[in-house]
Amino acid sequence: MDDTSPTAWQHLLETGTLVPFQVVDAHTEAAPDGENIAVRADLVFIGDDVDAEPAEIAEWGALGFLYTLAVLSFNDAQPRGNSRQDFAANDRFSVSDFLQSVSFDHNGLHLRADYVRGRCMKTDITVRSDGTATLATWGRGESALRWLDRLQGKQRISLV
């Protein structure tokens, strides 16, 4: 191995940002307290090529896509309640954090992150072998929709 080889986290991020996807359905729901919002977005992987099947994209991109969304969630997460004591502003989501949060079951690859080192992530992501995915967050406002826009290269309009 030479010094120019990317590290595991770099490879996962590079792969994750290359996964083309389309948001099929997205909706938000206010919690009974009126303050917290849950977001659910259903996605499908799409290729630039007409012949590209979503399942083929899932084969090479699922792990990177999961990791990239988890990194965006972690970077955007803030402490809540007693978790403030474990919060470090310059902390990073590691491959180790990822491996502790990811699992595989009959639905596909699944990442569930609640609190990670003082950050309230509240993020649930599933990537299925057919090339579809679901991103769900709770208590995070509409931040998940911003992550998807960022991955697609969209800029949000902001007041100047």
pTM summary value: 0.87
List the chain pLDDT tens, one digit each, 160 residues. 556 677 999 999 999 999 999 999 999 998 777 668 899 999 999 987 767 899 999 999 999 999 999 999 999 988 776 666 677 778 889 999 999 999 999 999 999 999 888 888 999 999 999 999 999 999 888 999 999 999 998 876 666 6
Residues in CB range of 3: below 8 A, 6 or more apart: none
| Exposure class string for 75-107: b at 16+ Cβ within 10 A, else e | ebbebeeebeeebeeebebeeebbeebbeeeee
